[in-house]
């Protein structure tokens, strides 16, 4: 029998009504003759609320306990969804990530899946039950403690389970009708992308498109699992994320697939770094040892008079304090003058596999950004992406300008945001 893995995001299970609606959808799939394994996120903004609560009892909650707390959100949803399904007369069993065999590294708050051994799920499916698995969590191979997979991690749970169960498809349900050419909250005329390659989706997810967790897309590509990203509030088809986009008849692939933006980064400038061999290495080693991910980097040409230079880079805002602390520790060793921290910035990215073969994309992008009176602070590129750092207040204007420059606007507004607070 064909097996489908479905994942429902927080807004799809936000309250009792939503949970009953999702149960109907799951049962419909079962009635259509499929085996169904469901992965759920925490209800609505539960994860954020739990994190707020933790902060109220301790400014620095221990990472182990924080994971115990936040993973409880998904466990509430899994039990409620199972109850709602049973109420419709179908057998349902819920499982924590650990029970479902999701084995991870031990890094609390951002653990990576090492292996999935879904014996209990297979057994339950074999007995005809619908399985509901708590997303976003697993159990550490070494410490046996409960871990969480990083914000948005339920998507990754779904794909990892789909791979381990050799599922025929993996459906990711949220509150929008798929992946759009830009965030419809900023660009109301954004269009749904019917099909997108793993490669482009990876760049989008890495550049701030929140609809899919980055690691989920990496996993899907590694195991060749087609993803169908769609809304649980409508029956419309969504976006297929696939190995290679098929050229349909009379439809040329667009050069650009979309414009992403990201408000989660901050910029750090290390001022007055002596222009000597090994200084950059010391700086980035200090950040690596503190487990801080760096995104864009710019090093200025050093001033002839001082032989000193400035190095700027971006880090996730959430790690801003740690990054500054890690750098202060090596200030004497490196001999830099000072640090500047700016979290009023954002990143705007243009993504499209067609960039490889069409000249002039970069010029058009910068023309459009300039036309929106936006100043560019940093630039980085990959083969299929151009990103710029701009002031926070100019993100929206820059996104709109780039979106219309590449003629991505739909004639009619098609994006509907059904639920969620966008938090
Ligand atoms: N509930 C978790 C979060 O809000 C995981 C998820 O939704 O995928 O980040
Ligand atoms: Mg969530």
pLDDT winner (highest mean) among 67-71, 190-194, 216-220, 222-226: 67-71
Please report whether residue 364 resides in a domain. Answer: no
Q: Does the structure show a pLDDT above 60 at 393? A: yes
Please report whether residue 105 resides in a domain. Answer: yes
Shortest-distance Cα residue to atom 6 of ligand 1: 152
21 in ligand 1 pocket by Cβ < 6 Å? no
**Residue 194 dihedral angles phi and psi, to the nearest 5°:** -65, -40
CA–CA dist 157, 250 (Å, integer):
38
Give the DSSP letter string of 8-61: E-GGGGSSHHHHHHHHHHHHHHHHTT-EEEEEE--STTHHHHHHHHHHHH-SS-
* Angle made by CA atoms 308, 311, 317, in degrees to the nearest 5: 150
Supply the pLDDT for residue 111.
96
Specify the number of domains making up the chain: 1
Please report whether residue 38 resides in a domain. Answer: yes
CA–CA dist 101, 131 (Å, integer):
13
Confidence of residue 86 (pLDDT cuts 50, 70, 90): very high
Measured from the Cβ of residue 84, the count of other Cβ atoms closer than 10 Å reads: 23
Q: How far is the CA of 221 from the centre of ligand 1 (A)?
A: 21
Residue 34 is assigned to a ligand binding site: no
CA–CA dist 37, 82 (Å, integer):
11
Q: Which residue has the tokens 């990054």?
A: 323
The partner residues of 148 in beta bridges, in order of sequence, read: 137
Q: How far is the CA of 177 from the centre of ligand 2 (A)?
A: 17
Q: Does the structure show a pLDDT above 50 at 422? A: no
136 in ligand 1 pocket by Cβ < 6 Å? yes
136 dihedral zone (left: phi>0; alpha: psi -120 to 50; beta): left
Supply the pLDDT for residue 421.
47
Supply the pLDDT for residue 413.
75
Q: How far is the CA of 121 from the centre of ligand 1 (A)?
A: 22
Which of the listed residues 7, 74, 146 should we mutate to test ligand 1's pocket, taking the one with most ligand atoms within 8 A of CB?
74
Cross-sheet strand order for the sheet of 265-274: 297-299, 308-316, 265-274, 338-342
**What Cα–Cα distance (Å) separates residue 193 from each residue in 161, 185, 285?**
25, 16, 40
Range of the domain at 42: 1-173
154 in ligand 1 pocket by Cβ < 6 Å? yes
Q: Would you say how long the chain is, in residues?
A: 423
Supply the pLDDT for residue 141.
97
Identify whether the C-beta of residue 209 lies closer than 8 Å to the C-beta of residue 182.
no
Please report whether residue 406 resides in a domain. Answer: no
**Residue 254 dihedral angles phi and psi, to the nearest 5°:** -65, 150
CA–CA dist 192, 416 (Å, integer):
10
Please report whether residue 30 resides in a domain. Answer: yes
135 in ligand 1 pocket by Cβ < 6 Å? yes
Q: Provide the CB-side half-sphere exposure for 273 (13 A, CA).
A: 27
Q: Does the structure show a pLDDT above 80 at 399? A: yes
Please report whether residue 85 resides in a domain. Answer: yes
Q: How far is the CA of 58 from the centre of ligand 1 (A)?
A: 22
148 dihedral zone (left: phi>0; alpha: psi -120 to 50; beta): beta
Q: What is the pTM of this model?
A: 0.88
User: How much is the mean pLDDT over the chain?
Assistant: 94
153 in ligand 1 pocket by Cβ < 6 Å? yes
Which of the listed residues 40, 42, 69, 70 should we mutate to test ligand 1's pocket, taking the one with most ligand atoms within 8 A of CB?
42
Q: What is the mean pLDDT of residues 119-123?
A: 98
Please report whether residue 70 resides in a domain. Answer: yes
Identify whether the C-beta of residue 242 lies closer than 8 Å to the C-beta of residue 197.
yes
CA–CA dist 19, 40 (Å, integer):
10
Q: What is the mean pLDDT of residues 149-167?
A: 96
153 CA closest ligand 1 atom index: 8
Query: Is beta strand 130-134 parallel, antiparallel or unpaired with respect to 35-40?
Result: parallel
Extract the tokens encoding 412.
Answer: 């009619």
Cross-sheet strand order for the sheet of 239-242: 92-95, 130-134, 35-40, 3-8, 169-174, 227-231, 239-242, 195-197
pLDDT tens digits, 276-333: 899 999 999 999 999 899 999 998 888 888 889 999 999 999 999 999 999 999 999 9
Residue 341 is assigned to a ligand binding site: no
Please report whether residue 319 resides in a domain. Answer: no
41 in ligand 1 pocket by Cβ < 6 Å? yes
Say which CATH number the domain at 126 has: 3.40.1160.10
CA–CA dist 67, 196 (Å, integer):
33
Residue 7 is assigned to a ligand binding site: yes
Q: Does the structure show a pLDDT above 60 at 43? A: yes
Q: What is the mean pLDDT of residues 2-29?
A: 97
Q: Does the structure show a pLDDT above 90 at 418? A: no
**Residue 177 dihedral angles phi and psi, to the nearest 5°:** -80, 20
Residue 208 is assigned to a ligand binding site: no
Residue 8 is assigned to a ligand binding site: yes
Of 271, 277, 167, 179, nearest in space to 231 by CA: 179
Confidence of residue 210 (pLDDT cuts 50, 70, 90): confident
Confidence of residue 223 (pLDDT cuts 50, 70, 90): very high
């Amino acid at each position: 029998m064909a097996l489908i893995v479905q994942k429902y995001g927080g807004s799809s299970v936000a309250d009792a009504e939503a949970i009953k609606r999702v149960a109907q959808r799951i049962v419909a799939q079962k009635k259509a003759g499929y085996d169904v394994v469901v992965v759920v996120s925490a209800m609505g903004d539960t994860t954020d609320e739990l994190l707020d609560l933790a902060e109220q009892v301790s400014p620095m909650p221990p990472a182990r306990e924080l994971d115990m707390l936040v993973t409880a959100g998904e466990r509430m949803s899994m039990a409620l969804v199972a109850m709602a399904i049973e109420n419709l007369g179908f057998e349902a069993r819920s499982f924590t990530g650990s029970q479902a065999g999701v084995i991870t590294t031990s890094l609390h708050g951002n653990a990576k899946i090492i292996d999935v051994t879904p014996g209990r799920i297979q057994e339950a499916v074999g007995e005809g039950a619908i399985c509901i698995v708590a997303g976003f969590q697993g159990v550490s191979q070494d410490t046996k403690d409960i871990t969480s997979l990083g914000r948005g991690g339920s998507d990754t749970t779904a794909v990892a389970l789909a791979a381990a169960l050799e599922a025929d498809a993996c459906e990711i349900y949220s509150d929008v009708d798929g992946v759009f050419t830009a965030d419809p909250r900023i660009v109301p005329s954004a269009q749904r992308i019917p099909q997108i390659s793993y490669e482009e989706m990876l760049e989008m997810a890495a550049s701030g498109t929140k609809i899919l967790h980055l690691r989920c897309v990496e996993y899907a590509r590694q195991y060749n699992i087609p993803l169908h990203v769609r809304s649980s509030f409508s029956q419309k088809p969504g976006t297929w994320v696939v190995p290679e986009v098929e050229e349909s008849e009379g439809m040329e692939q667009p050069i650009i697939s979309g414009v992403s933006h990201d408000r989660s980064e901050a910029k750090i400038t290390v001022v007055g770094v002596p222009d000597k061999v090994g200084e950059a290495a010391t700086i980035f080693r200090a950040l690596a040892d503190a487990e801080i991910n760096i995104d864009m980097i710019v090093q200025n040409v050093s001033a002839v008079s001082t032989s000193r230079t400035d190095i700027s880079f971006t880090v996730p805002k959430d790690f801003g304090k740690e990054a500054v602390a890690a750098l202060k520790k090596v200030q004497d060793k490196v001999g830099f003058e000072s640090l500047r921290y700016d979290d009023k910035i954002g990143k705007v990215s243009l993504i499209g596999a067609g960039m490889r073969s069409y000249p002039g994309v970069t010029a058009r992008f910068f023309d459009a950004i300039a036309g929106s009176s936006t100043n560019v602070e940093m630039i980085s590129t990959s083969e299929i992406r151009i990103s710029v750092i701009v002031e926070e207040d100019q993100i929206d204007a820059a996104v709109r300008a780039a979106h219309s420059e590449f003629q991505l606007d739909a004639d009619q507004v098609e994006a509907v945001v059904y639920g969620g607070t966008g938090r």
